[in-house]
């Protein structure tokens, strides 16, 4: 695809840290990026005032957003406050918020863009069709009819589906429905 891009965070982090050091005199604040989330050094972050924390995040957002492969970037608080439809792409990021483990900034790349530390290869870390379309074949003699599911479904629907097919109890924390069109 012509719009395919790679954002190598091993190159991005030094650029961000240089900008933050020049602007605020804060050395090496950003220390990692995983799953399109930017993480900070807590020892440095905790010494900043609330205003400094806000300002550093705004500058970081501005620098990262200027990259042509970035659609949007949020703080966890901004993302949590937004209302998304359950099948909206952004809900993928919202569902991954986990207090204490989420980065200080969450980056949503454009379709066919990858944010990682490798110069080659790919991953399945975005909510776009190219990363989430996973073929699944289920077979149970005399029980399942041949079908193709064309609507969006979640991998979490597999557990209750298998439980129903195997006639065993659903997982205790399962809140998902079974895959559509699976049973007669």
- Residue 103 pLDDT: 96
- Residue 184 pLDDT: 60
State the first-to-last Cα distance of the chain, in angstroms, to the nearest integer. 40
- Residue 118 pLDDT: 79
- Residue 61 pLDDT: 97
Q: Closest Cα partner for 67 from 125, 1, 130, 13?
A: 13
- Residue 181 pLDDT: 86
**Is residue 30 within 8 Å of 16, Cβ to Cβ?**
yes
Task: Work out the burial of residue 26: count CB atoms within 10 Å of its CB; fewer than 13 is exposed, 13-18 middle, 19 or more buried.
Answer: buried
- Residue 1 pLDDT: 63
Residues of the chain with pLDDT under 50: none
pTM of the shown model: 0.76
């Amino acid at each position: 695809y012509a719009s395919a891009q790679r954002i190598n965070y091993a190159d991005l982090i030094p650029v961000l840290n240089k900008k933050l050091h020049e602007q605020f005199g804060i050395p090496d604040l950003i220390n990692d990026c995983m799953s399109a989330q930017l993480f900070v050094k807590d020892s440095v972050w905790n010494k900043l005032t609330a205003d400094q924390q806000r300002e550093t995040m705004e500058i970081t957002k501005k620098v990262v957003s200027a990259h042509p492969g970035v659609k949007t970037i949020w703080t966890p608080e901004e993302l949590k406050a937004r209302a998304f439809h359950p099948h909206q792409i952004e809900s993928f990021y919202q569902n991954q918020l986990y207090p204490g483990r989420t980065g200080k900034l969450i980056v949503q790349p454009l379709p066919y863009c990858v944010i990682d530390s490798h110069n080659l290869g790919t991953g399945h870390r975005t909510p776009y069709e190219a990363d989430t379309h996973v073929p699944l074949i289920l077979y149970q003699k005399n029980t399942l009819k041949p079908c193709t599911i064309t609507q969006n479904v979640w991998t979490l629907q597999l557990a209750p589906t298998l439980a129903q097919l195997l006639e065993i109890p659903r997982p205790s924390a399962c809140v998902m429905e079974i895959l559509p069109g699976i049973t007669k």
